[in-house]
A and B are shown apart, each in its own frame.
Chain A
Amino acid sequence: MILFQVFALLVCSIFAVGAVLSVLRGRIGPIVGLAWLTLWVTAGIAIARPETTVAAARLLGITRGADLVFYLAILGMIIGFFAVYLGLRRLEGEITTLTRHMAVSEALSEAESAERQEPDRDDEDS
């Protein structure tokens, strides 16, 4: 095993343990945790036994294992970008909800004050 494999397997192990701990601590759900664990374990296997990527690639009709890893990485990035985009959209919506709440509350309060002052003004006139 080369130095890179040792280092990379260490990183994968840390993140795999992190995924398990995150589930146990309730920070992420079990399904999401399992997905991350699967990802890190799969990455670890591919790093420790590179020939497995060749076998997997051939099963899918792809010539080289490296090509399969590349395609999966691209796919993973696109999915990741989309997930971030959806998260940003949700955040934008929450900012709008908060902005609206502040604006409407203040405006209603002003309207109520104006309505309260009108009877007082009427009393003064009479």
Chain B
Amino acid sequence: MSTLGGDEPDRGWMPPSTFIVVPAYNEGSVIGEVIRELRRLPATVVVIDDGSSDQTGAVARNAGAVVVTHPLNRGQGAALQTGLDYCLRRGAEVIATFDADGQHSVEDVPRLVEPILRGEVDVVLGSRFLGTAENISFLRKVILKIGVHFTRVMSGARLTDAHNGIRAFSASAASRIRLTQDRMAHASQIIDQIVAAELRFKEMPVSVRYTDYSKGKGQKSVGAVRVAVDYLMGRVAR
């Protein structure tokens, strides 16, 4: 079954109970296009509007997404967990996560879902370093690599990309993820919980495209220090 239109080659099938979670905060200028692209896939697209002050929710809804709205901004980690909870309540069998800023490629979603449908793994993590990272700055690359080593020390997981927003979970795996890191440290917490729950996981190559918009919107490199502190304090405080 073609997933991207009748004339396009078959890039993988996804069951109708596939949900794609897109956490979004003030992405009104790009979210419409992202959702329209995702809607080409046979999946339910769920945008978690994390207390945006612009028209993110309305634009996403008009583009055809289901919108779950946080009345207050709580952070990407909180939005992601809200998305997982919502999708599980809606009977999702597979849940993919996807960033709202247009960095990710829609074509990667079915490829990440496929190993889960085959029963090979419970979680698939996207890796830009196995795939492509277009226009990535040298500093960002260094910081991400440091993050990989940090994750290896803290959780034991040997990954090539520990902070990529494109992933896929089986429903069973998603139900075992319980994020308490509301902000950007959630990415490390996801890895911790995957390892702790002994979920089967693998990395797959994905494309990440850095645009001026996404670079301006994304985490500043200095923010990596705060992410590390948040993560460590979260481990102490639990």
Contact = CB atoms under 8 A, between A and B. Distances in A.
Interface string B208-237: 000000000000000000000000011001
B74 A104 contact: no
Q: At the interface, is chain B mostly helix, strand, loop or mixed?
A: mixed
A104 B237 contact: no
Interface in A103-119: 103-104, 106-108, 111
A53 to B, nearest CB: 32
A18 interface: no
B86 A93 contact: no
Nearest to B179: A96
Contacts of B89: 104, 108
Contact of A107 (B67, B75, B182, B233): B67
Q: At the interface, is chain A mostly helix, strand, loop or mixed?
A: helix
Interface residues of A, number: 17
A92 B237 CA distance: 13
B81 A107 contact: no
A107 B60 CA distance: 14
Given A93-B180, A96-B74, A96-B78, A103 B68 contact: yes
Contacts of A86: 237
Interface in B52-87: 66-72, 74-75, 78, 81-82, 85-86
Interface of A: 85-86, 89-90, 92-93, 95-96, 99-100, 102-104, 106-108, 111
Closest 7 CB pairs of A and B: A107-B68, A100-B82, A96-B78, A96-B74, A103-B68, A104-B86, A99-B70
Given A95-B72, A106-B68, 4 more contacts: A90-B237, A99-B70, A106-B69, A107-B69
